[in-house]
Amino acid sequence: MQNYLTPEYLTETYLDWKIIDPLIYARKLNQLLKTEEIRRVFDEVTRTYEAIRRWEILEWDDFSTYPKLIKPLEGEEYLLPVQMDTMDWRWDLGAGRPALYLDYCLSQSCHWRAKADLAVAQRLLPEYDWIVVSSEKHTMVCCPEAQLIWDPTYFAMEVSAQSALHTVFGEELDGIDYEVYEPEEFEWTEHTRYIVGIWNLIDGYPEADRLRIVQGMGEQLDEYRNEDAADERELVAA
């Protein structure tokens, strides 16, 4: 598979790459998105991304607030990615009933969403060998041999396949700072698992105690920062 990701091959096939239009497979895709298996995968992805966002809120607010959990919509058992989307790209999607797949799109979440996108791609189009390619700026589900990308969120946002390639491999398509994962290899990073674990712990406490626990975490982190700063000053003085 790596042979299809070399700068030479990417440059040669650059204009052939495309992001698949989900509406081409609307009927089969809708059936898939309604299955218990896929809904659970997207629920896991959404909750994991929510954990990361909640941690960011903690840091922005200097551990002075407790970011509450988002609950499933009324009548729904699982969280939907659309519930976590805070960007305004949906405003010009046009009149009429939105396509079902749009509920499963979530901007700024590619590193986590790839797990669900991969599960869908494998079941929707099993004739292709899907992999995950991940760099610091973008993670994408693709079949390099066929120059195909499965990314309904990017498609809905009208991001081109060529832009996706540049984001992953750099403007010259010669970036080497990326990882390739076969389907069975792709998992959350250690940092993501750590953050999810923290929230699983805190959310298990009574609601009345959660803010106090969060504030205590902030105070402990401040102590660590002060100790690190003191050590750095000693090193400079020495």
Domain-wise residue ranges, the chain = 2-188
Q: What is the mean pLDDT of residues 5-18?
A: 96
Sheet of strand 131-135: strand arrangement: 18-19, 148-150, 139-143, 131-135, 178-181
The model carries a pTM of: 0.89
Residue 87, classed as helix, strand or coil, is coil
121-175 tens-digit pLDDT: 999 999 999 999 999 999 999 999 999 999 999 999 999 999 999 999 999 999 9
Under a CB-based contact definition with an 8 Å cutoff, are residues 64 and 215 in contact?
yes
DSSP letters of 174-200?
----EEEE-TTT----HHHHHHHHHHH
- 117 CB-contact burial (10 Å; exposed 0-12 / middle 13-18 / buried 19+): buried
Q: Is the dihedral of CA 195, 198, 203, 207 positive or negative?
A: negative
User: For residue 88, what pLDDT is reported?
Assistant: 81
75-119 tens-digit pLDDT: 899 999 999 998 888 777 766 788 999 999 999 999 999 999 999
- Phi, psi (degrees; rounded to nearest 5) at 38: -70, -35
How high does pLDDT run on average in the chain?
Answer: 91
- Phi, psi (degrees; rounded to nearest 5) at 224: -60, -45
At what angle are helices 110-124 and 26-33 packed, to 10 degrees?
Answer: 120
Taking residue 179's Cβ as centre, other Cβ atoms within 10 Å add up to 11
SS3 helix, strand, coil % of the chain, rounded to 5? 60, 10, 35
User: For residue 234, what pLDDT is reported?
Assistant: 47
The count of residues in the chain is 238
What would the two tokens of residue 29 be? Answer: 């895709």
25-52 tens-digit pLDDT: 999 999 999 999 999 999 999 999 999 9
Please report which confidence band the pLDDT of residue 235 belongs to, taking 50, 70 and 90 as the band edges. very low
Instruction: Say which residues have a Cβ less than 8 Å from residue 196's Cβ, sequence separation at least 6.
Output: 47, 48, 51, 188
